[in-house]
Amino acid sequence: MVKSLTEKDFDQVESWIGTGPKTFNLLYSITRDGCYASVFHQKCDNQGPTFTVMYNKEGSVYGGYTSVSWSTPTTRLDQTDNAAFLYQLYYSGLNTPKKYPVKTGHTAICSATDLGPLFGSNHKFDVFTFSNSIQTSSSGEYNLNGDMQTHFGKNYDTAGISSKEFNNGHIRVTELEVYAVKDGQRKPPALPTPWRKTAEFGPKVLGSLKEEVKGINPPEELDVPHFNILLLGPLGSGKSSICNLVASVFRGRISHRARLTPYTFGDTVSLQLYDTRGVAETDTLDLLQCNFILDGHVPDFYEMSPTHLLKCDDAEFRHQAALKNKIHCAVFVLDGLIVGDMSKSMLQKLLSYRDLLTRKGIPQAALITKIDKLCEQSAENISNTFLSPAVKDLVYNVADLLNLPRNSILPVKNYEEEMESDENINILALLAVRQILFFAEDYLENMKDKQSILKV
């Protein structure tokens, strides 16, 4: 349903009036001020040209313009106005801009104390909105008591259309507004400021981010082919979907193997993501097992479960773990829809991993998934992520919950099944991957420095 006019609509009205740039200042709104003829006159009399607009539940938007002031004469006053017109901007939700000019020599408007806006004459009205007062119905509509049918097309050239084609054949409106129209330049609406600075989304930035991410590699001096990134998070938070997302950005290889599954992405990017079993309230990856993973003792594809815990004397236990087997950055994957309502015990669990990681000096980040479900703005277009107040609030909230810096909280949208590749989803993923690789690179640079100190 159309609820307010856009800048494009105002541009359209401006071009219909046809005398240069115009400003539109809302004088009266029945949902704000009440549907009373007295209030309409109090707010709109002697204001010069005005633009009246009505909205209905079907999504139709229509009304009239007059260059003559509304007034409160003692008896009903018909006035001619060669500049007046009726119009339709939307019909049942579709943008259908049409102007219906006043017929030459005909009455354009009628003013009186008891009348709301009336286009036409006292006896032959084309668009008569209401008289006296109207209360809202239980459905939230105002069932206007005027008439836009009987004499529709009498004073205005409505091109033979019926009132049904004008306003769906009824005068139940959800809003009626009157704007003062004055000469002047409208200020362009202020662009919302992004809450995180990023380059403008587009094909160029997608290409350059891809190249940048491919160019981030572990220090050559270390025998480490990939950055090993561990994904940790509650059940169903989107960990496996993250692996698919990165794979789809880099056209990598996805193997659907169980538990501690390393996903490499061909030769294109030095990144290995370790997907883990979801953390549940009761059954979970204990800290010792997590520590074994971090230290590289758990072989790839090892099936970890609470009933199948790795022990130091197991044959699979990798005793001689090298830096290339260890985790270089851990990423908490959190479902954006429910992270705000996370239970205390789940938060405690995540914080205990976090404590372990911090004590081991392993950098950490958090990916927030499902941001498409979080707000309309992002659902419509993922490039709005950094403009969305809802995403911003969540990112800041998660930073506080996990006590992580805000720049390590990274919103993403995963691909759901059978979705086509999308440029904006890929850009958001690459921004997150780049940040995670920076953290892992820092960690390995530190390791390199430590190794060289030990060698001296």
In the complex, the smallest distance separating the C-beta of residue 412 from ligand GTP, rounded to whole angstroms, is 6
Under 8 Å between Cβ of 100 and 156: yes
In the complex, the smallest distance separating the C-beta of residue 425 from ligand GTP, rounded to whole angstroms, is 9
3-state SS of 171-201?
A: CEECEEEEEEEEECCCCCCCCCCCCCCCCCC
What are the Cα distances from residue 9, in Å, to 5, 13, 88, 90?
6, 6, 11, 10
Under 8 Å between Cβ of 433 and 246: yes
Q: Decide if residue 411 touches ligand GTP (CB under 6 A).
A: no
Query: In whole angstroms, what is the distance from residue 358 CA to residue 373 CA?
Result: 32
Nearest to 422 by CA among 383, 374, 391, 367: 383
Q: Which is nearer to Mg ion, 216 or 235 (CB)?
A: 235
In the complex, the smallest distance separating the C-beta of residue 354 from ligand GTP, rounded to whole angstroms, is 18
414 binds, among Mg ion, ligand GTP, none (CB under 5 to 8 A by kind): ligand GTP
Under 8 Å between Cβ of 167 and 54: yes
Pattern 268-297, binding to ligand GTP, x per CB under 6 A? ----------x-------------------
Count of residues interacting with ligand GTP (CB under 6 A)? 16
Instruction: Give the bridge partners for 262, in sequence order.
Output: 274
**Sign of the Cα pseudo-torsion (151, 156, 161, 165, in order):** negative
Query: In whole angstroms, what is the distance from residue 167 CA to residue 322 CA?
Result: 74
Q: Which is nearer to ligand GTP, 17 or 231 (CB)?
A: 231
Q: Which contiguous run of DSSP H or E holds residue 350?
A: helix 344-360
Q: Which is nearer to ligand GTP, 49 or 234 (CB)?
A: 234
241 binds, among Mg ion, ligand GTP, none (CB under 5 to 8 A by kind): ligand GTP
In the complex, the smallest distance separating the C-beta of residue 338 from ligand GTP, rounded to whole angstroms, is 11
Which pair of structure tokens corresponds to residue 213?
A: 């991410």
Q: Which is nearer to Mg ion, 239 or 297 (CB)?
A: 239
Q: Decide if residue 226 touches ligand GTP (CB under 6 A).
A: no
Query: In whole angstroms, what is the distance from residue 295 CA to residue 387 CA?
Result: 39
CB-nearest residue to Mg ion: 240
In the complex, the smallest distance separating the C-beta of residue 233 from ligand GTP, rounded to whole angstroms, is 6
Q: Decide if residue 416 touches ligand GTP (CB under 6 A).
A: yes
Return the residue of 34, 59, 101, 236 that touches ligand GTP, per CB under 6 A. 236
Q: Decide if residue 363 touches ligand GTP (CB under 6 A).
A: no
Pattern 238-267, binding to Mg ion, x per CB under 5 A? -xx---------------------------
Angle, helices 239-250 vs 423-455, to 10°: value is 100
In the complex, the smallest distance separating the C-beta of residue 332 from Mg ion, rounded to whole angstroms, is 14
> Which residues, including other chains, have CB under 8 Å from residue 233's CB and lie 6 or more apart?
239, 278, 279, 332, 333, 334, 335, 350
Under 8 Å between Cβ of 132 and 100: no
Pattern 369-408, binding to ligand GTP, x per CB under 6 A? xx-xx-----------------------------------
In the complex, the smallest distance separating the C-beta of residue 369 from ligand GTP, rounded to whole angstroms, is 4
Count of residues interacting with Mg ion (CB under 5 A)? 2
Return the residue of 155, 167, 240, 384 that touches ligand GTP, per CB under 6 A. 240
In the complex, the smallest distance separating the C-beta of residue 369 from Mg ion, rounded to whole angstroms, is 12
Return the residue of 158, 413, 437, 443 that touches ligand GTP, per CB under 6 A. 413
SS3 37: helix
Question: Stretches 20-28, 160-168, 235-243, 263-271: which one binds Mg ion (CB under 5 A)?
Answer: 235-243
In the complex, the smallest distance separating the C-beta of residue 394 from ligand GTP, rounded to whole angstroms, is 13
Q: Which is nearer to ligand GTP, 30 or 428 (CB)?
A: 428
Instruction: Give the bridge partners for 177, in sequence order.
Output: 29, 53
Nearest to 274 by CA among 308, 220, 325, 218: 325
SS3 237: coil
Q: Which residues contact Mg ion by CB under 5 A?
A: 239-240
Q: Which residues contact ligand GTP by CB under 6 A?
A: 233, 235-241, 278, 369-370, 372-373, 413-414, 416
